[in-house]
Amino acid sequence: MNNACLPDEKERSFSRSEQKGNSVSQPVVYITQLSTRREGSAWVPTVDITPAKEFGDLVYLLPSGMNYPSLGEVLPVLQAGLAKFRHSQDMVLPMGDPTVIMAVGAILGAAGDSFKLLKWDRKSHRYFIQEIYAQ
């Protein structure tokens, strides 16, 4: 498994535009929470999300391997993480805690008419963009 897709505490995003020194604004794929499992003392991804890089820079909204006893604790973090979400070009990759996924959908639905998410297709082994209409 490619550990390059696992965020650490210092770096929670992978930016093609920053790596290339490009000032052009790339689409961003907001990952709700990377699905991980514990192996010894380390968290390792349960899925390879490398194919999502095709759609834009990857940004993690929440650290992996964390459970939140109260949605009230995590809502401000999600709202801050989605503050720069551009409905016209950015996308969500829903992963992790179902409550967090639903909260992200509610936040984005309240902020715009629609938003895009990436949906994995098992047969073709690739992501597809699916538009979600809030109204």
Which are the contacts of 51, defined by CB distance < 8 A and separation ≥ 6?
125, 126, 127
> Can you tell me the distance from the alpha carbon of 112 to that of 35, in angstroms, rounded to the nearest whole number?
27
Our count of domains for the chain comes to: 1
Which are the contacts of 4, defined by CB distance < 8 A and separation ≥ 6?
14, 50
Q: 112 lies in which domain range?
A: 3-133
Nearest 5°: CA angle at 90, between 50 and 17? 65
Per-residue pLDDT tens, the chain, 135 aa: give them.
Answer: 333 343 443 334 444 444 444 445 899 999 999 888 889 988 888 889 999 999 999 999 998 766 777 888 899 999 999 999 999 999 999 998 899 999 999 999 999 889 999 999 999 999 999 999 987
**What pLDDT, on a 0 to 100 scale, did the predictor assign at position 65?**
66
Output the six-digit token pair for 83: 């503050």
The predicted model scores a pTM of 0.80
